[in-house]
Structure 1
Amino acid sequence: MSMNATGGEGTFADLGLRAELLDVLSALGYEEPTPIQWEAIPPLVQGRDLLGQAATGTGKTAAFALPMLQRMSRPGDGAGPVTLVLVPTRELAIQVSEAFHRYGRALGARVLPIYGGAPIGRQLQALKRGVDVVVATPGRALDHIGRGTLDLEGLRTVVLDEADEMLDMGFADDIEAILAATPESRQTVLFSATLPPRIDGIARRHLNDPVRIEMGHAAAEGRQTTPLVEQSAYLVARAHKPAALGRLLDIEAPTAAIIFCRTREEVDQLTETMNGRGHRAEALHGGMEQEQRDRVMSRLRAGTADLLIATDVAARGLDVEQLTHVVNYNVPSAPEAYVHRIGRVGRAGREGVALTLVEPREHRMLKAIERVTRQRIPVERLPTVADLQARRMELTRAALEECLLQDDLEPFHAVVESLTDEFDLMEVALAAVKLAHEASGATLDEQEIPEITVRPVDKRRGQREAAPDGERSHRAPAGGMERLFFSLGRSAGIRPQDLVGAIAGESSLSGRDIGAIEIAERFSLVEVPQAAANEVIDALRRSTIKGRRPNVRRERDPRGRRQR
């Protein structure tokens, strides 16, 4: 059976979910299923195996979490888990377990994340008390299976989330060993952003007559076009997105902008944050009465509000002539949604700008949108504090120029004349400009937002390029990165995916955060973000790679000094 998820309107109630789950989704502000949720939830509730091609940002976590919770007859009763979710990184293990906990709280579902770098004692205690859902990185799951502390006898479902990423990180053997330890009668669910032959091989060996869902392919055949809108994207960590949005709005200075969020809760939080930064923001979502919606739209059209922060559902049919900018606060859940969103400023020949904030894990979804729209979305550098200051100075100059051209300045002549008796005319002008600049709110204390880059990948192997064995480069690390020295190299059988898997499994970094890797005969060099260097060093000193404990430290430069 094969499905092509291209959309379709409906509600979560239409999917037949139990009342406890519908209440939770409503409270969280989820207004309608994303395309992958609409296609995946019914067969998963029926117990079918499923092979889904979907990137982060499509809503796939809820697509498998909700059916798993729906199928739990009496959560909290058994000792061993009924659902095991395997993920490539510690970061994703935390995110998925938090999602299961949010959705399943009313059901009393017990959820446990298992990953490296966390106290194993707590994990052992929780497993002993009993859990319903385990979300684990492959290495730590296999460790518990070997210890006999992870009982899979009652397991009903295994989910492989971001399977291609797990294979790229060298977890193929671990996955095979884990699946071999699970009941043959289990339901198996596999999600992957891409479907290379290796993924297809796993599906053939371990999935039984699976439902296939491939996101966006109908649109990719050319039936989707995008309006002529200036498009750009910015890579931003989740924690820095509000600050990044504020900075982009300060730089762009839109006449009016619509900012799309995924949920009502996110709309309300972001509206409060933007108003706190001095913007005039209004919220628009499905939880509002029609009278409230009308008031919001009146303020936007009258110019007393310049930001409209909305969900897709609430913005349907919206056409505001003043709109100059569309901002995707998250990468949309489907390429088609991106086209609809940016079309708000591409109508009737109007020019517009579309900006998209991309978390590192959403980068693949951005590439999927490019394939569907057949347009490149350039990833730009986020404006720096210096860029922002320059822009604010430019606005101050423009305001002064307008004042000189249009205003009656005679009442202030006496003030300037009296000051020039004591000060130079240029000094008086500089002081006036300083006061005007500060009065415009241009003295905000801005902190730099860490720059994130996506490293090139060797498409033949799905791994980052490494320097030839035996060569040690003394070039400076990429901006914002620091090079770490590992005392294991080619002689220990170390490969790039071994280093990526170890770092991602034991620290908060994901594979996408790791930079260039160089492997020599007896050592390796790995670039990591400077802010995470100490965390990686501490985590890796307590772990093993290929059964050996590495010596990990900051690399010394050719003159023997540590990098700064």
Structure 2
Amino acid sequence: MDGERDTSGDGPTFEDLGLRPELLAALGALGYEEPTPIQAEAIPPLVGGRDLLGQAATGTGKTAAFALPVLQHLTAHRRDRPPAALVLVPTRELAVQVSEALHRYGKDLGARVLPVYGGAPIVRQLRSLEHGVDVVVATPGRALDLLNRGSLQLGEVATVVLDEADEMLDMGFAEDLEAILDETPEQRQTVLFSATMPRRLDSLARRHLSDPVRITIAREKAAAGEAPRVRQTAYVVPRAAKPAALGRILDIEAPTAAIVFCRTREEVDSLTETLNGRGYRAEALHGGMSQEQRDRVMGRLRGGTADLLVATDVAARGLDIDQLTHVVNYDVPSAPESYVHRIGRVGRAGREGVAITLAEPREHRMLKTIERVAGSPISVQTVPTVADLRARQLDLTRGALRESLLSDDLDRFRVVVETLADEFDLMEVALAAVKLAHEAGGAADDDEEIPQVGFRPDSGKAPRAGSGRDAGGKPRRSAGGPAARLFVGLGREAGIRPGDLVGAITGETGLTGRDIGAIEIHQRFALVEVPEPAANEVIGALKATMIKGRKATVRRDKA
């Protein structure tokens, strides 16, 4: 949850939003300081039971905006089997993300949260539903599959949330959404969030929302000329490897002074401890500290007895540190304007600064949005290897020795060299001296190879029927590479439409609508193009799921 704001302002706190004590305790334990704009506007009417239609981009804090009210209405340590709330999302990655958030916030309530998506064993999901759950977070295809099996019972659902609804429509889930909503009680609370509001989405909202509160959170534009002279780099890092990756990157960069921005107080404290354990002089700065504590921290940074400041946005508001050379985003900022403000702290007065962002594989789209708003490219790189680190450390040793040779008075050490030269080759003496200087320079003993990963494909829009062929009718090369054509043994006779195939493939695999090529629907079968490297994964996934409630034969097309 990003978007911390200056605590000295008049903005509401989480206590002001009418949340129950268990949720306030969970938010406090997680270190969240203030609600973001979407949370401040959406939570009170949702807690009051109103339907809501919200237009807000990914990363504005909307997950908590609907998750906290859902948990607010939940009976603590509920024992009923059918779910009390249903959250529908377009992708399995988002299903996992939302489920984790609900679990963190609802821990003290004993909330039972089940993510339901393709690509995971359905038997495990069936068993969890049998034992009982409170909130189901599902992709539409798998939710409809479980409904058709009779395993997902929606008769007691009090709240339905459609998150990133425009994406679900673009992926061909319109009919699935209608079918799922028809299975829920008429007297329910319905919440719809979307980054855009196309006409067909507005039509769906009019059918299924009752007198909704309408909220629009626009991204504020960064001030002209605010982007400074900064070298901007992003490293793709799995979340579990972030602490090690940050230490490795800082070892390579060797900043004079740096600010590392984190989302929460808890993350600030944990990361500060980790960095100090690695040998850095790191200081924490967040809203849970008194003004006197903050002043002492800033004094140590400006006095040179600390070289890293690990901080939340709230605590770092208005800081101006002359010797600052690096800004690090430990997480991709949720709002592009936050990114621009952060990197504006370096590269001032004609100096060049460095901005580093640690991005998880699923955060490609957020990074692209930041790049567009900031108006400057962000170079994406892989985390330095152990070999890269050792080469950099040798460079630093070489630089230190060269500086000593040029500026220091070395005569008092001549007798040592001359004495050793009588017994050893002069090159060996020099090598031993360099080794001692290298080790004395604090070269990190780091032998851990950090996983090298890349971004997952962007969430894209599903192609319209026939869009996978050019004017000449030739099959396109899917996603810029060779395509495989697959035979699916269901067609018009079974009510199959292009959107059904797109939805089934994107819901059950890591592909997006943008990756899928030409689709042909015939009377009793369909043909669909997918990237060749993913063909076997798609075949296996479609064989294991149901399309429009039916199993299908799936294989490579023999034509």
For residues 350 and 478 of structure 2, what CA distance do their matches in structure 1 show? Answer: 52
Counterpart of 2:552 in structure 1 is 548
Amino acid at match of 2:552: R
Alignment of 1:188-227 (within 5 A): 188-217=190-219, 219-220=220-221, 226-227=226-227
- RMSD between aligned residues: 4.1
Counterpart of 1:249 in structure 2 is 250
Contact 1:338 1:369 in 2 (8 A): yes
Moved more, 377-386 or 52-61: 377-386
**Deviations 1:503-537 (CA, angstroms, capped at 9, x unpaired):** 65346x4x57x9955669967453669xxx99888
For residues 489 and 469 of structure 2, what CA distance do their matches in structure 1 show? Answer: 12
Structure 1: which 5+ residue stretches go unaligned?
A: 478-482, 553-564
Other structure's SS at 1:179 match: helix
Moved more, 319-328 or 351-360: 351-360
Amino acid at match of 2:218: G
Identity in percent? 64
Aligned pair count?
534
For residues 8 and 491 of structure 1, what CA distance do their matches in structure 2 show? Answer: 59
Question: Is 1:318 matched up with 2:319?
Answer: yes
Shift of the 185–361 alpha-carbon distance from structure 1 to 2, 3 Å rule, reads: farther
The Cα of 1:79 is off from its aligned counterpart by 3.7
Contact 2:285 2:316 in 1 (8 A): yes
Counterpart of 2:305 in structure 1 is 304
Contact 1:227 1:347 in 2 (8 A): no
Counterpart of 1:96 in structure 2 is 98
Contact 1:467 1:517 in 2 (8 A): no
The Cα of 1:295 is off from its aligned counterpart by 3.1
Match of 1:131 among 133, 149, 155: 133
**Please, what TM-score do these two structures have when normalized by structure 1?**
0.80
**Deviations 1:413-449 (CA, angstroms, capped at 9, x unpaired):** 4554466567654455455445544554155225254
For residues 393 and 244 of structure 2, what CA distance do their matches in structure 1 show? Answer: 16
For residues 413 and 289 of structure 2, what CA distance do their matches in structure 1 show? Answer: 49
Counterpart of 2:360 in structure 1 is 359
Amino acid at match of 1:50: L
Amino acid at match of 1:11: T
For residues 11 and 86 of structure 1, what CA distance do their matches in structure 2 show? Answer: 28
Amino acid at match of 1:314: A
The Cα of 1:545 is off from its aligned counterpart by 6.2
Shift of the 517–368 alpha-carbon distance from structure 1 to 2, 3 Å rule, reads: closer
Counterpart of 2:15 in structure 1 is 13
Question: Is 1:145 matched up with 2:150?
Answer: no
Counterpart of 1:25 in structure 2 is 27
Shift of the 317–143 alpha-carbon distance from structure 1 to 2, 3 Å rule, reads: same
Amino acid at match of 1:148: G
For residues 239 and 355 of structure 1, what CA distance do their matches in structure 2 show? Answer: 18
For residues 408 and 159 of structure 2, what CA distance do their matches in structure 1 show? Answer: 73
Moved more, 432-441 or 266-275: 432-441
Contact 1:283 1:308 in 2 (8 A): yes
The Cα of 1:308 is off from its aligned counterpart by 0.9
Shift of the 371–172 alpha-carbon distance from structure 1 to 2, 3 Å rule, reads: same
Counterpart of 1:557 in structure 2 is none
Alignment of 1:251-270 (within 5 A): 251-270=252-271
Counterpart of 1:488 in structure 2 is 487
The Cα of 1:29 is off from its aligned counterpart by 0.8
Moved more, 257-266 or 225-234: 225-234
Counterpart of 1:178 in structure 2 is 180
Amino acid at match of 1:257: A
Amino acid at match of 1:251: I
Contact 1:541 1:550 in 2 (8 A): yes
Counterpart of 1:63 in structure 2 is 65
The Cα of 1:13 is off from its aligned counterpart by 0.6
For residues 24 and 171 of structure 1, what CA distance do their matches in structure 2 show? Answer: 34
Amino acid at match of 1:34: T
Shift of the 549–59 alpha-carbon distance from structure 1 to 2, 3 Å rule, reads: farther
For residues 140 and 474 of structure 1, what CA distance do their matches in structure 2 show? Answer: 25
Question: Is 1:167 matched up with 2:169?
Answer: yes
Shift of the 410–33 alpha-carbon distance from structure 1 to 2, 3 Å rule, reads: same
Other structure's SS at 1:320 match: coil
Counterpart of 1:293 in structure 2 is 294
Counterpart of 2:531 in structure 1 is 526
The Cα of 1:501 is off from its aligned counterpart by 4.8
For residues 34 and 327 of structure 1, what CA distance do their matches in structure 2 show? Answer: 22
Counterpart of 2:523 in structure 1 is none
For residues 323 and 336 of structure 2, what CA distance do their matches in structure 1 show? Answer: 25
Other structure's SS at 1:309 match: strand
Counterpart of 2:56 in structure 1 is 54
Amino acid at match of 2:405: L
The Cα of 1:101 is off from its aligned counterpart by 2.0
Other structure's SS at 1:321 match: coil
**Deviations 1:307-364 (CA, angstroms, capped at 9, x unpaired):** 1111122223333332222222223233443343333336666653333333344444
Amino acid at match of 2:239: R
The Cα of 1:273 is off from its aligned counterpart by 2.4
Other structure's SS at 2:59 match: coil
Match of 2:110 among 108, 112, 119: 108
**Deviations 1:93-140 (CA, angstroms, capped at 9, x unpaired):** 222222212212222333222223444344334333433211112122
Counterpart of 1:556 in structure 2 is none
For residues 331 and 226 of structure 1, what CA distance do their matches in structure 2 show? Answer: 19
The Cα of 1:226 is off from its aligned counterpart by 2.1
Amino acid at match of 1:13: E
Amino acid at match of 1:344: R
Alignment of 1:387-426 (within 5 A): 387-417=388-418, 425-426=426-427
Shift of the 36–433 alpha-carbon distance from structure 1 to 2, 3 Å rule, reads: same
For residues 308 and 48 of structure 2, what CA distance do their matches in structure 1 show? Answer: 43
Shift of the 453–498 alpha-carbon distance from structure 1 to 2, 3 Å rule, reads: farther
Amino acid at match of 1:526: P
Moved more, 252-261 or 168-177: 168-177
For residues 480 and 289 of structure 2, what CA distance do their matches in structure 1 show? Answer: 53
Amino acid at match of 2:531: V
Contact 1:57 1:330 in 2 (8 A): no
Other structure's SS at 2:255 match: coil
Counterpart of 2:230 in structure 1 is 230
Other structure's SS at 2:271 match: helix
The Cα of 1:65 is off from its aligned counterpart by 0.6
Amino acid at match of 1:488: F
For residues 394 and 515 of structure 2, what CA distance do their matches in structure 1 show? Answer: 38
**Please, what TM-score do these two structures have when normalized by structure 2?**
0.81
Structure 2: which 5+ residue stretches go unaligned?
A: 521-526
**Deviations 1:192-246 (CA, angstroms, capped at 9, x unpaired):** 33444443443344333433333334x23x7676242415242443233333323
Contact 2:90 2:139 in 1 (8 A): yes
